Chain A
Amino acid sequence: MSTATATANVFGTDVPQPKQHGKPGGIMRRLNFGTGLIGGIGLATVAGLVTNALTPSGASTATFAPAAPEYVYLAVLLGWVIGFMAGIGAFIGPIRWVLGRDLTHADAEYMAGKDLGWKRYFKFTTDHKVVGIQYLVMTMVILGFGGLLAMLIRTELGVTWAEVFSPAFYNSLIGTHGIAMIIGMIIVVMGPIANFIVPIMIGARDMAFPRLNALSFWLLFVAAICLISSLFMGGVQDGWSVYYPLGAQAPPGMLGYQMTIIVFAFSTGVASVNLMVTILTMRAKGMTWSRTPLLVFGVFASALMGLYAFPFYQYSQILALSDRIFNTSFFDPLEGGSVWLYENLFWLLGHPEVYVIIIPSAAVLMEIIPVFYRKPLFSFNFAVAGIVGVVALSGLVWAHHMYMTGWAPAVNYPFMLSTEMISIPVGFLVLVVIGTMWRGVVWTRLPVMAVYAVIFNKMIGGVTGIYLSDVPVDQYMHGSMFVVAHFHYMLMGAGLFGAMAGVAFYFPKMTGRMLDERTGSIGLWTAFIGFQITFGSMFVAGLQGQPRRVLQFDNLFNISNWISTIGAYTIGIGMLIFLGAIISSWMYGDKASSNPWGSKSLEWQTPTPVPLENFEVLPVVTERPYDYGVPDPYQKELDAVDGDLEKVGK
């Protein structure tokens, strides 16, 4: 790229360019993951040392705890966050804007990773496809970490005759497992698939705000490191929900958790805005809403719910941080605060959040089934109605998590009503899936076989949710293992298996190789069988009366827990096999053609690997996305006899 031209040729048009400062990319040429680490670790160390020097030795906090670990750890966390983001170049964009140095086309191409090879995955790269792959790897790492913790948890629960780990460590195992899995599940479809596939699917060249896209990924990375660091400072000992005032008794690791959430909320907020604006404004010409694929609706809905809900969570952690460091008392009832304030703030996120997880997974199913049944999606409008219904009701049901708190018993009635009502739009989505299966000839490949697993799990999860939505029944079930089994059926059984279906489906487009179906299927079905054993048995334990978050319990629950643990190890093996299938196929798999599934959707009309600008010429959409199949044979027979049914053969 010449540095002197004042125009650049962009798809055949000469576009006037601002002044090119230095080589394309400017200082971003030198900034990458390595400089990010240097910046993060460096600033963290400096901040830690300075804070340590400034804290009088032997000082205590207001709650008689040693002050140095608290303040130093907080300083280290802040230093890490700011230092890493500075080191990887997140602030370069705003700085250039302040200095009036706009990006030229050459700069933008550099930032999108043009001609950088593998290095672009380790930089602040704006190309949505690169961000999608970064998210894919990060998600697998986070889910793998959560899975490791799950195996430890189930080992403890399976060894019923002794304490394998100390109770405090067990509490931190379940807390960290919870938050790692929640973060992993939020991003498992919204990260890889929404980032990589959705812009191509709507016929755009990239997202509306490419730099925000890169920002959301690296903020996630920074947050994940904050969470890991908390393990070394005492862990997150109070469940992933960290009710206060219990959280106020936790060691400094709790600060790591709070920073994780604060940073992660920024990450998802930025990603949500990006996705929503992209979907609203950058759909291809001719892509009216009725020609927009369901995945786009699902991703939009999830982004919208995340956008309004995450600030509550972030805010609750900011207040908690303030309680801890500045000795405020938002959540300290003895000093005028309220425990219910925290619970409400938390569940105002906590409930929409499960729909943030499940809606994209359900939307992915709706992309998969028309392709593999070669039929249009059954009642496209009904599916959209289901998604809209879920979004509308998602913000009105949160206090069903608080039935038993004694907060406001009178509001249990309306919340019971809204919670039961939300099962109806979710049911719409199930109907659309089975309606598409209806009379369809199925092409039995891995992505669609996974759909059967998902629907099976979703029905069980949904029905058990109905029990819990009833207040008197919740009087027995709340806080028992029944609840744990229910949400694992929904989030893991329906959510994670749906995401696995999506990964199997989009694998050829994202990696250029076919996922080995035999190994993938073995992994998936092993995990599925293990899943039924683990959580089916867990329902029994909950019904028998086992509370949650306990490491030792009555002999009565022994058998259910032994069975659950064996099932859990089976899930572990199955998931490792699936992971092995992903890794081995990525490395050695058969090269994929550009449209191995024969899909009519836009993203499959690009070559594989997808070129930097996605499309040479932006497409114009003229038909609906799921136009497969032939006229109804039964209808044809009926017409052949002019509607006289007595003459119809069958």
Chain B
Amino acid sequence: MSTTDVRPTGQPDEPEAPTNRPPSMHRVKMWIRRPYARWIMVLTVLIGFLLMPLAWLLLAAMNQTGAPASEVMKDIEQTVFVFTMVSIPITAFVFAVLVYSLLGWKHVSGDTPPEDESPAIRGNTIGVVLWTVVSSVLAFFLVVWGLAELAQITANSYGTIPADEQPEDKQALIVNVTGQQWVWTFEYPQYDGLTTETLYLAKDRPVYFNVTSKDVIHNFWAVELGVKIDANPGAITQTGVTPNKTGTFNVRCAELCGMHHAYMETAIQVLEPKVFNSRAREMGGGKAT
């Protein structure tokens, strides 16, 4: 039942390596001559091309309300694009095999199984190694890309900078975000503690959010800015971003927080810096300190 191979017969002085096997490149060329090999490669490429527009469609879905409105969001979109492209080869290959197995290789229906018709391939070292190497390389690429991107976003704005150690960036705007069932309030400590329920930001001005909650866990999600962090009671979490586009965007709560969780939305107004300052003054925020 095992496939024929050309092992040495155990006589002494016989060469170890099989000598009557065709050279490797020749074997690859002969394999490619097999009809199913060619068809599956063609199908893979075809399905791959059919899947490629997804990369743009995914971005189109994300950009319907004005995104990207910050570098962070642009990075995220670029990552989605790249990940889609990187995932396509293996996905297309798997789909190609699924398709060809129904259309290319024989199939039978009815009450009796097709006995003794399929080749008893127990394994294929080349196939296994190739798959492992390709999937590992792709996975590592995605990991390295992701780690690098995360480091970059963190260095600029995200997560690890405690409120009292935030850089002496005179430019930066600090907003204390408080989530409460079921309203967001935003306090501007640099503007006399001005508190609003709509988030006002200035274009091209970095902003650090210190986020907390008065009751249960909420999640502060500035959708088009690509910023998200849990609002935990009893703790302050930080994130940051620099909006680079004026307009009206959305803050939504992304962690179930009770009855009116769906209604815990508010607007972000990104304004030109001068407009921002005058608006702050209008609302009683005094001069920027």
Q: Which residues of chain A have a CB within 8 Å of any CB of chain B?
A: 167-168, 171, 237-239, 243, 245-246, 249, 333-334, 338-340, 371-376, 378-382, 404-406, 409-410, 412-413, 416-417, 420-421, 423-424, 427-428, 430-431, 434-435, 437-445, 452, 455-456, 459, 463, 466-467, 469-473, 475-476, 478-480, 540, 543-545, 547-554, 556, 597-598, 627-636, 639, 642-645, 648, 650
Q: In the complex, A381 Cα to B122 Cα: how many Å? A: 10
Q: Give every chain A residue within 8 A of B262 (Cβ-Cβ).
A: 167, 547, 549-553
The reply to whether B124 and A443 form a contact with Cβ atoms under 8 Å apart is no
Q: Give every chain A residue within 8 A of B243 (Cβ-Cβ).
A: none
3 closest A-B pairs by beta carbon, nearest first, are A333-B234, A479-B254, A406-B237
Nearest chain A residue, comparing its CB with the CB of B265 = A554
Known: A376-B121, A378-B121, A629-B118. A544 touches B101 (CB 8 A): no
Does B95 sit at the interface, judged by CB under 8 A? Answer: yes
The reply to whether B107 and A442 form a contact with Cβ atoms under 8 Å apart is yes
Q: In the complex, A550 Cα to B258 Cα: how many Å? A: 10
Q: Which residues of chain B have a CB within 8 Å of any CB of chain A?
A: 1, 3-4, 6, 20-22, 26-27, 30, 33-36, 58, 61-62, 64-65, 72-73, 75-76, 79-80, 83, 87, 90-91, 94-95, 97-98, 101-102, 105-109, 112-124, 127-128, 131-132, 135-136, 139, 142-143, 145-147, 149-151, 153-154, 158-160, 211, 215-217, 219, 221, 223-224, 226-230, 232-235, 237-238, 250, 252-263
Q: In the complex, A10 Cα to B21 Cα: how many Å? A: 58
The reply to whether A545 and B223 form a contact with Cβ atoms under 8 Å apart is yes
Nearest chain B residue, comparing its CB with the CB of A242 = B256
Quick one: which of B34, B94, B215, B230 contacts A405, CB cutoff 8 A? B230
Rounded to whole Å, the gap between the CB of B110 and the closest CB of chain A is 8
Rounded to whole Å, the gap between the CB of A15 and the closest CB of chain B is 41
Given contacts A406-B229, A420-B139, A440-B118, 4 further A-B contacts (CB under 8 A): A373-B118, A404-B229, A545-B252, A635-B119
The reply to whether A431 and B131 form a contact with Cβ atoms under 8 Å apart is yes
The reply to whether B159 and A409 form a contact with Cβ atoms under 8 Å apart is yes
Q: In the complex, A424 Cα to B112 Cα: how many Å? A: 37
Q: In the complex, A196 Cα to B285 Cα: how many Å? A: 71
The reply to whether B256 and A629 form a contact with Cβ atoms under 8 Å apart is no
Q: In the complex, A361 Cα to B72 Cα: how many Å? A: 39
The reply to whether B123 and A375 form a contact with Cβ atoms under 8 Å apart is no
Quick one: which of A406, A428, A630, A634 contacts B117, CB cutoff 8 A? A630
Quick one: which of A249, A475, A547 contacts B226, CB cutoff 8 A? A475
Nearest chain A residue, comparing its CB with the CB of B255 = A479
The reply to whether A443 and B65 form a contact with Cβ atoms under 8 Å apart is no
Q: In the complex, A475 Cα to B241 Cα: how many Å? A: 12
Q: Give every chain B residue within 8 A of A171 (Cβ-Cβ).
A: 256, 258-259, 261
The reply to whether A438 and B121 form a contact with Cβ atoms under 8 Å apart is yes
Q: In the complex, A519 Cα to B98 Cα: how many Å? A: 23
Give 19 pairs: A residue, B residue, CB < 8 Å, sorted on A: A167-B259, A238-B258, A378-B123, A435-B124, A440-B118, A441-B108, A441-B117, A459-B95, A467-B80, A470-B149, A470-B150, A544-B61, A544-B62, A552-B262, A598-B115, A630-B117, A631-B3, A643-B20, A645-B22
Known: A378-B121, A427-B90, A466-B87. A420 touches B142 (CB 8 A): yes
Nearest chain B residue, comparing its CB with the CB of A421 = B139
Known: A167-B262, A416-B146, A459-B91. A470 touches B79 (CB 8 A): yes
Quick one: which of B98, B226, B258 contacts A476, CB cutoff 8 A? B226
Rounded to whole Å, the gap between the CB of B18 and the closest CB of chain A is 9
Q: Give every chain B residue within 8 A of A445 (Cβ-Cβ).
A: 109
Interface centre among A471, A475, A630 (most CB of B within 10 A): A475
The reply to whether A427 and B135 form a contact with Cβ atoms under 8 Å apart is yes
Q: In the complex, A645 Cα to B80 Cα: how many Å? A: 46
Rounded to whole Å, the gap between the CB of B66 and the closest CB of chain A is 10
Q: In the complex, A556 Cα to B252 Cα: how many Å? A: 14
Q: In the complex, A438 Cα to B118 Cα: how many Å? A: 9
Rounded to whole Å, the gap between the CB of B39 and the closest CB of chain A is 12
Rounded to whole Å, the gap between the CB of B208 and the closest CB of chain A is 14
The reply to whether A480 and B254 form a contact with Cβ atoms under 8 Å apart is yes
The reply to whether B87 and A631 form a contact with Cβ atoms under 8 Å apart is no
Rounded to whole Å, the gap between the CB of A563 and the closest CB of chain B is 13
Nearest chain B residue, comparing its CB with the CB of A643 = B20
Nearest chain B residue, comparing its CB with the CB of A370 = B118
The reply to whether A435 and B101 form a contact with Cβ atoms under 8 Å apart is no
Nearest chain B residue, comparing its CB with the CB of A644 = B22
Q: Give every chain A residue within 8 A of B132 (Cβ-Cβ).
A: 424, 428
Q: In the complex, A443 Cα to B253 Cα: how many Å? A: 51
The reply to whether A404 and B219 form a contact with Cβ atoms under 8 Å apart is yes
The reply to whether B113 and A633 form a contact with Cβ atoms under 8 Å apart is no
The reply to whether A376 and B122 form a contact with Cβ atoms under 8 Å apart is yes
Nearest chain B residue, comparing its CB with the CB of A412 = B150
Rounded to whole Å, the gap between the CB of A538 and the closest CB of chain B is 12
The reply to whether A556 and B123 form a contact with Cβ atoms under 8 Å apart is no
Nearest chain B residue, comparing its CB with the CB of A633 = B119
Q: In the complex, A338 Cα to B80 Cα: how many Å? A: 34
